[in-house]
Each structure stands twice: as structure tokens, then as C-alpha cells.
Structure 1
Amino acid sequence: MDLTEGNDMISLMERLFPICRSISGNGVRESFEIIKEHIPVQLYEVQTGTKVFDWEVPKEWNIKDAYIMDEKGRKIVDFKKHNLHVVGYSTPIDKILSLDELQKHLYSIEEQPNAIPYITSYYKERWGFCISHHEREKLKEGNYHVFIDSELKNGNLTYGEFIIPGESDKEVFLSTYLCHPSMANNELSGPVLAVYLAKWLMKENRKYTYRIIFIPETIGSITYLSRNLEEMKKNVIAGFNITCVGDERAYSYLPSRLGNTLADRVALKVLENTHPDFVRYSFLERGSDERQYCSPGIDLPVASVMRTKYGQYPEYHTSLDNLDIVTAKGLQGSYDVYKSCIELIECNAYYQVKCLGEPQLGKRGLYPTLSTKESGRLVRDMMNFIAYSDGNHDLIEISNIIGVPVAKLYPIIQLLVDNDLLFKRNEIL
């Protein structure tokens, strides 16, 4: 496996990893400045209080410092050492507390004693600290100085959009989120993959237009839809929510609400052909932005292809989701799968053979003069493809019927087109 893009994605992730991000604030903007070095993403700011469907854009949150200091002046919890130590959207505080009072504002995971949990409180004002359970158990009776230098203010939610025009106004939609602090697979694998897919898509002309967005999860997708839904309902033919694509464990597929869109068919075809051991989930097990894209009334054709699904790996939403569990090989594999999905979307169409009856392949140089096992297979695949190229079956259906991976059908299609034996009856729209 060529790991060129995988290694480049790791390098980008290493730059983004230390930044403290949330659903709004300067950490998100700082991250976008790095992403803009790679692709010309357009940034948009949406003001606090803006009504977005049934929701409202919250206040902007920024943080400079936070710690818990014991009576000897030792920082037993230090935001500057790990930004997961502070509950996301914590209000400012500067106070001396007893251990009993402090415990009410501490969060740890007993079953994972060495992990710092990721905790947020976006829509109820509170403050808190996250700590490994191992360190929490070491706390002694006494007074503790708690300090959080943060700010909640009327500001803006920031999201990024990059549209790559194609020959058609019909769109393929790629969405990923940029809103978590230092976690590698859950937070950063999606954005770095989206960046490198965008760089690949920019290299040559495409049939379809590509709409690629970087948003804060949930509130960002709701905000984006509230501004773009009419156009997206008209144009989007397939889409993917890109998240948790960086480890080397099994691939996962989560369908759209009804599981019958072009995105679903493409994802299943590619995974069945390339990674048949993938894990198939139900839409009832959703948990990311597919909730918004596939909700009633929205009903965009969006599915998810992941490595280990969010919530299904032990490091999820903890400090253990670090740069050790995301690898160049894992990212490269996901990149290759998504490229295959996009290539299939670009090639999928209803094909129809031009002549009546079985075409004479020999006079066109398409029938081998020497019969071997391999030549026999190639002729069989070609004849089977022709047999179902009646204008009523698309490429995915034909692949399913004749049991040949789509990647092996691409050169057959090109041969038949070059010899004026095949045409596309119409595109998949």
C-alpha cells in the first residue's frame, strides 16, 4: 500500500492536535487557518442568537487557562498540559473549595482509570474539570484553588465550505466536523481525510460538483442546512458524513434513514468488494450528523463509511484517543475507500448495448485468438456485462447480478465504448 497521502494526513493531524477546539471560538478559527494552507476553504460566521430551525446559535466560548491547585501550590490538573481537563463551555471561576465541594465538579471514568474523559455542557452554564480516575483517587482532604479563565460571549459560530464545480450542477456532498479538542480519531481523522479528498478532486475535471463542509457537529449541520437546504434538496445526489476514519480496525457502514440512496448502494458495493468483513450498522445506531442530514423533511441521501464506529472503540471521547491509535495506514485505507466510492458515483449510469443480438467481438479484436483460463474469464465478464446492458440496469445493479467488482468492469466499459458498442442511456441523478 502506498502511504503517501496517509503520511501527509498524519503530518496535518499533528499540527491540528494540540489546538483546543469547541463548537465555536478561536480554536476553530486557528484550525481553519492551517486547513486553508491546503485548500481554499471559505469561512462563514453565524451570530449568537441566530435562529436555525428549532435551535439557536449559542454563545461563543474561548478559554485561556485553567487549573486546580492544592494547598502546596502544585497544579494537580492543568489545562495547558491537556485541554480535555476542562469541561467544554465551562464558565469562569476563581475560588477556594474543599475537597467535598470540588468533587461535585469533577468527572472521571472508574473503568478507565488512566483516561481523561471528554465532557461538554454547551446548553447549560456550569463549570467542571475532567481528571483520570487514578489521579482523582489520590486527592486528599483540604482546600483547592480552582481557576478557569474562560469567556462566554455573544459572538459567532464558524464553519467552512469548499465547492468544486463539475460539469453538472448535481452534487456529491462530503461533510465532516471540526469542534472537539485534542482527540485524534473522533475529531481529526475526518477533517484531514476531507482535506486530502478535496486535493485529489481538484486535480482533474469531474462530472459532478463537490460540496465539502467543515462544521461543528450537530449545531453546525443544523445551521448549515438552515442556510442551504433548498439548493441541496435540488442538487445533492449522494453524500457521506466523514468521521472516525483513522484507525486500522474493521470498516463500518451506517446507512441513511431508509438505506436506499445512491450513497448507500455505492458504500455497500465498494465495501463488499474491497473489505467484506466490514461491520454493518442500523440507522437506529446513529449518533453523528447523519441525524440531521437524514431527518424527516431534510432526507438528504447521506450515509457514513468509517473505520471503527464512534462509541464502539474504548478510547472514544477520552484522552486515549490520541495520535497513537490513528495511523498512516488506517487513514490511507479510508482515503482509498472514499476515492473508490467517488469514482463509482462518477461512473455509475444506465448502460445500453448498441447492436441487436450478440455483438461480434472477434472482428473488433475483443475476442482472444488464444484461449486461456484468464482470457475465458475476461470474455465471460464482458459478455455478461453486455447481457444486462439493456438501459434498465445501472452499473451497480449489473455488478451485483454478474458478481464482478465494479473496478473490474471499468476497463470493460471503456473497451466497449471505444468500439462503439455501448452508450450511457442516461446519468444517475
Structure 2
Amino acid sequence: MEYSQKKKIKNGKYEIFINSKFKKGNLTIGEILIPGKSKKEIMLSTNICHPSMANNEISGMVVTTFLAKWLLKKKNLKYSYRILFLPETIGSIAYLKKNYKYLKKNTIAGYNVTCVGDDRNHSFLPSRKGNTIADTIGEYILYKNVKKYKKYSWLDRGGDERQYCSPGIDLPVASLMRSKYGEYPEYHTSLDKIGTVVTTRGLMGGFKILKKSLELLEKQIFPISRTLCEPFLTKKKIYPTFSKKNSVNNKLKLYLDILTYSDGKNSLFEISKKLNKSEAKIKKAIFKLKKMNLLQIQ
């Protein structure tokens, strides 16, 4: 019921009858799978259950649709993209019941796309673990592209990240929003409208942040060490045959530092941040280690 209708109701006691039945039925969702070179996937999920609310619901559908159209036009995608349109909570739980084992195996990153249409703020809500590649890249893109944003904690969750990140599911899903649900005055009211809350500029801002995050994810590689424990590098002519007190072999240290993080879970971006080196320098070193058969790349 709209607030304007509620104001017309006279004070008094009312009896409400909800005419409902429990019966077997169907749950309709939308799903797009855009194949890339890899079976590893990036997931985008948005909700379709409150279409009367512009920022809370419609904005997510609009931005996700345009992200899908953009991805479909791109050639030679590295990763595959799974894009979901479903009712909040019941939709994600039903989808996970059928697909969570596959998703756990193949999803490298994901974003819950909601509240991406107003022009008041940018917001970041991390995954439950808080240190996935979706978290690090999403927050990095915000840091580099907007003057300020509000960072929430996992304790502030409220969308389908609750299901995707729940114990036993543990998908790497974060949220990149404009004004977060529950944090703007028109939330869950009939005042959450296009034009007054959601604007073209707001939608474009939400779209661009997610697009830039996906672009950076596309550039990622995940190195995996081919040896258990540190490899014997002398035969590779990397490790010196004699040492000098207080001397540091920077190239050797860089290679060993890269190898220690090469577990298939740390991306190029994450390793470069841990080592405080440019991605270009780390990538060059990774491919040298690959050429020496010390690493494989996925």
C-alpha cells in the first residue's frame, strides 16, 4: 500500500484477511550464462521481488541488464559470467540448493547488485570473509574512482550476500552500492521513485563502478607453484653460489615472495598489493617463473 493511500484510511480497528494457500508451484528466475575461455566464473546477482521501488529494486535490474549487454558484446572474455535475476532470499536459497556445489568449485568472484541508482553516495559491503578478490578489487575501484564512499562491515549485511556467503556456501560475493538499503529515507516506501531518488547520473555511477571492477577481474591470473616447499633455484641460476654479509638479492627475494603466495587463490592484483609492487612488475616476474617451469597459471 502506498503511503498516500494509507493517509486516507480513517483511524479504527481493521481486520486483515490474507487469502493464501500452501501448494506446490514454480519459482521463476532469469539466468544468463556468458561463456568465456575459462570455466571459472564471475557472478552477478540482482533481485526482482519489489519492482515498485526504484533504488531498492529496479536500479539493480537496470544496471545488471546493461552489464549483461556490455559483456555480450565483448570478444574473447577470459572468464565466464553467470548473471541471475531472482527474488531476494527465497530465490537465492532455491538456486543455491540446486547449484551450490558447482558454484563453489567455479566462482572466483561475484557481486550482489542492489541499490545502485541514486546519486547521493557510494557504498561497499564486504563478503563474510572480507578478503576475497571481489572485496579487494571492488574496494580498490571505489578508492580510485570516487571522492568518498562509505564502507560497511559484514554485520551490516541485508541482501542476498547473506545466502551466497553463508557457512558451507562461502562464495566470494561482495556488494558495490550507491546508498545502501536501509540508509536512505525513502527505503521501502512508495517515495523510492525514479526521478526523485533514482537518476540517470546515479545509475551511470553504479554501472561504471561495477564495469571497472569486472574489467580488472578480467585481467587477473592466479599463479600456482609447481613445487612443495621452496624450489632448488641454484640450478635455475637464480640462487647465488656464495653470499655476502648484509647484501640483498632483490630479484631472488621477489621470486621467492611471489612463489610463497602462488597457491592458486591469490591473484596477480592481490600479490602485487601484498608485495607493494606494480602489477606490471609482478606479472613480468610471474611469466619468467612460468618459463622456468616453477609456476603454472590458471
Structure 1 pair 340/132, CA: closer, same or farther in 2 (3 Å)? Answer: same
Residue of 231, 235, 249 corresponding to 2:102: 231
**1:400, distance to aligned residue in structure 2 (A):** 6.9
1:177 paired residue number: 47
Alignment of 1:22-421 (within 5 A): 84-85=1-2, 115=3, 131-133=5-7, 135-136=8-9, 139=10, 154-202=24-72, 203-324=74-195, 325-349=197-221, 391-392=258-259, 394-398=268-272, 402=276
Structure 1, unpaired ranges of 5+: 1-83, 86-114, 117-130, 357-386
**1:258, distance to aligned residue in structure 2 (A):** 1.4
Structure 1 pair 388/274, CA: closer, same or farther in 2 (3 Å)? Answer: farther
Decide which structure has the larger Cα Rg and report it.
1
Structure 1 pair 240/147, CA: closer, same or farther in 2 (3 Å)? Answer: same
Output the CA distance in 2 between the equivalents of 1:333 and 1:426: 37
8 Å CA contact retained: 1:269, 1:396: no
What amino acid does structure 1 have at the position aligned with 2:176?
A: V
Equivalenced residues, count: 261
What amino acid does structure 2 have at the position aligned with 1:334?
A: G
Q: Report which of the two has the higher share of helix.
A: 2
**3-state SS of paired residue (1:300):** coil
Structure 2, unpaired ranges of 5+: 224-236, 239-252, 262-267
Output the CA distance in 1 between the equivalents of 2:254 and 2:209: 26
**1:223, distance to aligned residue in structure 2 (A):** 0.3
8 Å CA contact retained: 1:185, 1:321: yes
| TM-score in terms of structure 2 length | 0.75
Identity of aligned residues (%): 49
What amino acid does structure 1 have at the position aligned with 2:269?
A: L
Output the CA distance in 2 between the equivalents of 1:247 and 1:395: 30
Output the CA distance in 2 between the equivalents of 1:274 and 1:396: 19
What amino acid does structure 1 have at the position aligned with 2:218?
A: E
What amino acid does structure 1 have at the position aligned with 2:55?
A: N
Q: Report which of the two has the higher share of strand.
A: 1
Structure 1 pair 288/248, CA: closer, same or farther in 2 (3 Å)? Answer: same
C-alpha RMSD of matched pairs (Å): 3.6
8 Å CA contact retained: 1:189, 1:246: yes
Output the CA distance in 1 between the equivalents of 2:76 and 2:31: 19
